[in-house]
Amino acid sequence: MISKQKFLHLGKEFLRLQSFSSNMNAKTGIVLLNMGGPERIEQVHDYLYKIMTDRDMIQLPIAQDILGPWIAKRRTPAVQKKYEEIGGGSPILKWTKLQGKLLCEKLDKISPQTAPHKPYVAFRYVPPFTEDAFIKLQKDGIERAILFSQYPQFSCATSGSSFNEIYKFLKNRTIPNGFKLSIIDRWPTHPLLAKCFADLIRKTLQQIPEDKRNKAIILFSAHSLPLKAVNRGDAYPSEVGATVHQVMQELNFSHPYQLVWQSKVGPLAWLGPMTDEAIKAYVKQGKKVLVIVPIAFVNEHIETLHELDIEYCKELAEEVGVEIILRVPTPNDHPLFIEALSDIVLTHLRNKIPVSKKFLNRCPHCVNVSCLNSKKWFSEICSL
C-alpha cells in the first residue's frame, strides 16, 4: 500500500511531467545576432570581403563592388597578424554560444510557459550565418523565434545590417502558419547591464594602488561611426552615451569619465575623440592613471583583445608614458549580464510588443532601400 507522503510525491511528479510535456509544444528559439569574427586565420579574407562589400556596414564613395574586394585583399595580411597575436582567432563564437546556453537555461526556469528555449547564433560575416540559424530553426520545429540583437546600442551599420539580412533571407520564403517572429533591437539602458559594467569597473579599480585610485579617469570606449552616418540620424552615439550615464550613476559618479571612440577605418571623418588620441591628450595634461571600458561590446574579440589591450594599453601606453592603464573585461558570462539578457527576453514576451516603434522608424536622412523594405516587412510579419 502506498503511503500518503509517497502518493503526494507521485502526484507532484505527474503534474511536473505533464507540464513539461505540454511545454514541449511551445518551443522558443532565441536568435543571437552579432557581427561575428573569424575563428581561424584562413577565414580572415572572407570576413573582410563580406564587411567591405556590405553597404549596410560601409559605404565606399565609388565602385564598392571593385574597391571593397581590393581593400579586403590588401588588409588581409595585417589583420591575420593581429589575430595570430591574440591566439589565432576570435573567441566571439565561444562566448556567444555560452551566453545563449546560460540565457536559455535561465529562461526555462523563469518562463516555463514558453519553454523549452533554444539558442541560435546568427553572425553577419562568418559562420554560423543568418541562413544557418534559420535552417536549424526550421529543422527543430521552432514555433516562436525572437531575433535578439547582441549590440546593446542600435546602429544601422551593425544591428541594422543583421535585420536587413534576415529580411533578405526570409522575404521570399513561406512562413509556416502559426510561426511567431519578434524583435529585440536595442537595450542600452537596461538596469542590469549598467550594474554589470559597474561591477566590472569597481573590480578593476580595486587593482589600482589606493593612493592612486582616486586619480583614475574612466574612458568608455566604443566603436566609432563615420560622421556622415551620425548626421544621417543613426541612434548609436546617443544610445552609447545613455549607457555610459547609467553606468556612472551606478558608480555614484565616483571618478571623472569620458566617452571616446575607437576602430576608425579609412580617410573619412569619424566620430571622436578617438581613444588613442584621448590617451595621448590626458598624458599631456598630467593624467596618467586610466581605466578603459569597452562599453559597446558584450564579449571579447579583436577590438578588445588587440586594439585595446595590445595597441593602446601596452604599446601606446609605453610610448607616451602612462603610469597605470587597465582595461575592464567585457561582460562575457558575468551573472548580472546573463540576468540582464533573461530579463530583457522575459519582459519582451510579457509586453506583447513584437517590434518596437523606434525600430520601425527610419533615420530622417535614410537612403537605404533595404532598410525601407525590411522595416515594412517586419511591421507586417512580426507577432507575439
141: left (phi over 0), alpha (psi -120 to 50) or beta: left
Q: 3-class SS at 121?
A: strand
What is the per-residue pLDDT for 195? Answer: 98
Three-class SS of residue 363?
coil
pTM (2 decimals)?
0.90
pLDDT of the residue at 62: 66
Instruction: Tell me if 119 sits within 8 A of 133, measured CB to CB.
Output: no
Note if the bond before 237 is cis, omega within 30 degrees. no
Which is it for strands 257-262 and 217-223: parallel, antiparallel or unpaired? parallel
Give the span between the Cα atoms of 90 and 80, in whole angstroms: 11
Q: What is the reported pLDDT for 379?
A: 97
Compute the 3-state secondary structure of the chain and give helix, strand, coil in percent, each to the nearest 5.
50, 15, 35
Sequence ranges of the domains in the chain = 41-85, 191-327
Distance CA 302, CA 253 (A): 29
With beta carbons less than 8 A apart as the criterion, state whether 89 and 40 touch.
Answer: yes
- Structurally, at CATH architecture level, domain 191-327 sits in 3-Layer(aba) Sandwich (3.40)
Residue 31 · residue 159 · CB < 8 Å: no
Q: Which residues of 159-181 are buried (b: 16+ CB within 10 A; e: fewer)?
A: bbbbbbbbbebbeeeeeeeebbb
Q: Are residues 179 and 134 in contact, defined by beta-carbon separation less than 8 angstroms? A: no
pLDDT of residue 11: 47
> What is the spatial distance between Cα 41 and Cα 89, in angstroms, rounded to a whole number?
6
123: helix, strand or coil: strand
Sheet containing 180-184: order of strands: 117-123, 28-34, 144-149, 180-184
Per-residue pLDDT of the chain (384 residues; tens, 9 = 90+): 455 454 445 444 444 434 333 344 449 999 999 999 999 999 999 999 999 888 777 777 666 788 888 899 999 999 999 999 999 999 999 999 999 999 999 999 999 999 999 999 999 999 999 999 999 999 999 999 999 999 999 999 999 999 999 999 999 998 888 899 999 999 999 999 999 999 999 999 999 999 999 999 999 999 999 999 999 999 999 999 999 999 999 999 999 999 999 999 877 899 999 999 999 999 999 999 999 999 999 999 999 999 999 999 999 999 999 999 999 999 999 999 999 999 999 999 999 999 999 999 999 999 999 999 999 999 999 998
The helix-helix angle for 159-170 and 130-139 (nearest 10°) equals 50
Q: Residue 208's closest CA among 200, 198, 216?
A: 216
- Alpha-carbon distances of 311 from 34, 47, 78, 207, 263, rounded to whole Å: 24, 22, 13, 21, 11
Annotated catalytic sites, by residue? 190, 343
Place of cell 583614475: 216
**181: helix, coil or strand?**
strand
Tell me which residue of 34, 36, 74 sits closest to 52, measured CA to CA: 74
CB 164 within 8 A of CB 371: yes
3-state secondary structure (DSSP) of residue 325: strand
